[in-house]
Every structure is written in structure tokens, then in C-alpha cells.
């Protein structure tokens, strides 16, 4: 079942205080959540804390449930069971209010840009929030190396350029959480480098970042923490350095060593 859309009248609120003593430093806390499609459980995560101001790489084979988990984290979908808490509040069935939803932004693998200029795309989120500032748009475009194409029509951009605009559109609103779903899949090294540099900058600015990637080298470059999903289950999570140096679970060892075929 899809959550009510932002701004919908069904988007009644839904935040409840977390019990005292819950980890204050977590942006998200997941407790026994599950999600199924047509009766098939595709995600069943017992416990996962996503630390505030850190970058988590979400790893796993195709079909493991990574994008499904991201859709729960950006409140596009709701878990059927269990608890998802965000910033210390348990999110109930209707999803959080619009101002909370707007703290979380997502960059998808295939960017869907508005049929307007590059500038218009980056300005859109600020206008929506009544925070439009010329300098903010200019600076976001500069950050992703797209200033020279500011007035180009978004539909004329190459895949790499479009992805850089999608990232500028996300960072310009200074989100509390940035979710990235395979943001550099199929991009050339130059575009990958630009995108990774922006993620690195955000990482040092206190933004909570969750990046889904199939590139283990990218995960090692960017992530503070790692979570490995296989068949909808969380196999292992922890600091990136430990995960890659000494994975505990046999399946993690196979995954890191490239012995897991998928």
C-alpha cells in the first residue's frame, strides 16, 4: 500500500514520541519491519540504526530489497509491520507531515527531471519551500559542474549531466537526509568523480546519507557504515572499515570477496 502523497488530505499526522533512552544519535531506527508485494515478503529487517550525520552504504545483490528499504526511508511507502522511527519519532501508518517529508530527499538511478531548464529544475525545490535564492541555485550548479548549462533544456542533457542536475536539485535544499539509489550506475569516471566529490562534501557537513551501490570500491570510498541485505534480510551491518576488512558472516565474506554470484 502506498503512503498518502505529500500534501494529501489523508496525510494526517502521525508522529509519536519515542520511549526515553532510545538512541538519540540515530536519524532512523528500524525495528522488525517488513514489506511485501502481492503476498511475497521482500524485506524483513529486525534491527537497523542509521546514524545521524554519517554515510551508510546499502549493499546487496539485485532484488535484495535495497530500493524497497529506501522507499520506506523516504516515506513513499510504509512498512506493514514493525516500527520505523525518524529523528526520534515513530512514524505511524499515514506517514509523517509534509515538513518532515521534505527533510528527506532522494536521487534515483534514472533521474526524472522536469521539462524545463536546468536552472528551473534546481530552483524548483526551493520555490516549493518558499526559500528561492539565486545564489543557492548558482552555487549548487557550480558544485556539480553544471553552471555552463544552467539555461539548457533539461531534456537535452546526457545521462551523466542529468544525474548531476538531479544531485544539485537535491543538495540545494540542504536536506537533513540524502538517499541515493545507485546514483552513478552506468556513468563514466568523470561524472562518477563529480558525484562522489559532492557526496564527500555533504558527508562532512552533517547530512545523513544512505547510498545504494553495487560498487564495493565506491562504498569503501564514501561510506562510514555498511549494511548488507540479501533476500530482504539484513545479514550484517557496522563500520565500513571493519565490514570490508573482517566481515563476520560467511555470506558477507563471500560478497566482499566477489564470490557471490548474482
Q: How many other C-beta atoms can be found within 10 angstroms of the C-beta atom of residue 42?
A: 17
Closest separation between CB of residue 187 and ligand ATP, Å?
16
Q: Where are the beta strands (DSSP E) in the chain?
A: 15-17, 26-37, 40-51, 55-59, 81-86, 89-91, 104-107, 177-181, 208-212, 225-230, 233-239
Binding partner of 135, given ligand ATP, Mg ion, none, CB within 5-8 angstroms per partner class = none
Window of 8-16, 43-51, 62-70, 252-260 that interacts with Mg ion by CB under 5 A: 62-70
* Contacts with 77 (C-beta within 8 Å, 6 or more apart), sequence order: 1, 2, 3, 35, 68, 71
**How far is it, in rounded angstroms, from Cα 192 to Cα 185?**
9
Which residues are CB-neighbours of 24 under 8 A, at least 6 positions away? 88
Is 135 within 8 Å of 147 (Cβ atoms)? no
Q: Which does 113 bind (CB under 5 to 8 A by kind): ligand ATP, Mg ion, none?
A: none
Judge contact between 30 and 58, C-beta under 8 A. Answer: no
Of the two residues 173 and 222, which places its CB atom closer to Mg ion in the complex? 222
CB of 109 to Mg ion, least distance (A): 7
- Site for Mg ion (CB under 5 A): which residue of 14, 26, 67, 105? 67
Task: Between 44 and 141, name the residue whose CB sits nearer to ligand ATP.
Answer: 44
Interface residue with ligand ATP among 29, 45, 48, 65 (CB under 6 A) is 65
Assess 68 for contact with Mg ion (CB under 5 A).
no
The residue within the footprint of ligand ATP, chosen from 54, 66, 164, 203 (CB under 6 A), is: 66
What is the separation, in whole angstroms, between the first and last Cα of the chain?
Answer: 29
Cell triple for residue 127? 520555490
Q: Give the total of residues touching ligand ATP (CB under 6 A).
A: 11
Instruction: Work out which of 6, 53, 63, 97 binds ligand ATP, going by CB under 6 A.
Output: 63
Applying CB under 6 A, which of residues 42, 92, 152, 254 lies at the interface with ligand ATP?
42
Return residues touching ligand ATP (CB under 6 A): 37-38, 42, 60, 62-68
Amino acid at each position: 500500500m502506498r503512503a498518502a502523497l505529500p500534501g494529501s488530505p489523508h496525510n494526517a499526522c502521525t508522529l509519536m514520541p519515542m520511549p526515553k533512552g532510545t538512541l538519540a544519535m540515530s536519524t532512523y531506527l528500524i525495528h522488525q519491519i517488513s514489506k511485501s508485494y502481492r503476498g511475497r515478503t521482500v524485506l524483513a529487517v529486525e534491527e537497523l540504526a542509521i546514524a545521524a550525520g554519517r554515510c551508510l552504504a546499502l549493499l546487496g545483490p539485485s532484488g535484495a530489497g535495497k530500493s524497497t528499504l529506501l522507499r520506506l526511508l523516504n516515506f513513499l511507502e510504509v512498512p506493514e509491520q514493525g516500527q520505523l522511527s525518524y529523528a526520534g519519532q515513530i512514524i505511524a501508518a499515514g506517514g509523517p507531515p509534509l515538513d518532515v517529508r521534505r527533510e528527506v530527499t532522494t536521487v534515483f538511478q534514472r533521474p526524472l527531471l522536469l521539462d524545463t531548464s536546468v536552472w528551473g529544475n534546481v530552483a524548483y525545490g526551493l520555490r516549493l519551500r518558499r526559500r528561492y535564492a539565486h545564489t543557492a541555485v548558482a552555487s549548487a550548479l557550480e558544485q556539480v559542474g553544471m553552471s555552463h548549462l544552467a539555461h539548457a533544456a533539461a531534456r537535452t542533457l546526457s545521462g551523466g549531466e542529468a544525474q548531476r542536475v538531479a544531485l544539485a536539485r537535491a543538495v540545494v535544499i540542504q536536506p537533513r537526509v540524502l538517499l541515493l539509489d545507485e546514483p552513478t550506475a552506468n556513468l563514466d569516471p568523470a561524472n562518477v568523480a563529480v558525484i562522489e566529490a559532492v557526496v564527500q562534501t555533504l558527508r562532512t557537513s552533517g547530512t545523513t546519507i544512505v547510498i545504494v551501490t553495487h560498487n564495493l570500491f565506491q562504498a569503501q570510498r564514501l561510506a562510514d557504515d555498511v549494511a548488507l541485505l540479501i533476500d530482504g534480510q539484513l545479514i550484517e551491518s557496522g563500520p565500513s572499515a571493519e565490514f570490508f576488512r573482517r566481515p563476520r558472516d560467511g555470506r558477507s565474506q563471500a560478497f566482499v570477496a566477489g564470490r557471490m554470484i548474482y
